[in-house]
Structure 1
Amino acid sequence: MYLISVTNSLLALGISNIDTDYDGYKHHTDSYALRYNYERNFKKTFPKELLNDFEIDLVNQMRMFDPVKEIDGAKSLIRFFKDSDIPFCFATGALPMPAMIKLDQCDIWYDEKLLATSKTHESREGFVLEAIERSKEYYGKENFDRIVSIGDGVWDLKTAQNLSLDFVGIGDKNRTKLLENGAKHCFSTLSAFKKSLI
Structure 2
Amino acid sequence: MIVIMKALFTSIIFASLLVFVSCTETYVGPAGPQGPQGPQGPAGSDGENAYVFEWSEVTFSAANNYEVILPYPDSFDGLASDVALVYFLWDTYETNDGELVEVWRQIPQTILTDDGALQYNYDFSMYDVRLFMDAEFPLDILGAIDTDNWIVRVVVVPGDFFNSGRINTADYDEVAKQLGLPDLSKDYTGQPARR
Q: TM-score range by the shorter chain?
A: under 0.3
**TM-score, structure 2 length as denominator?**
0.23
**TM-score, structure 1 length as denominator?**
0.23
More helix by share: 1
Which structure is richer in relative contact order (CA contacts within 8 A, separation 6 or more)?
Answer: 2
More strand by share: 2
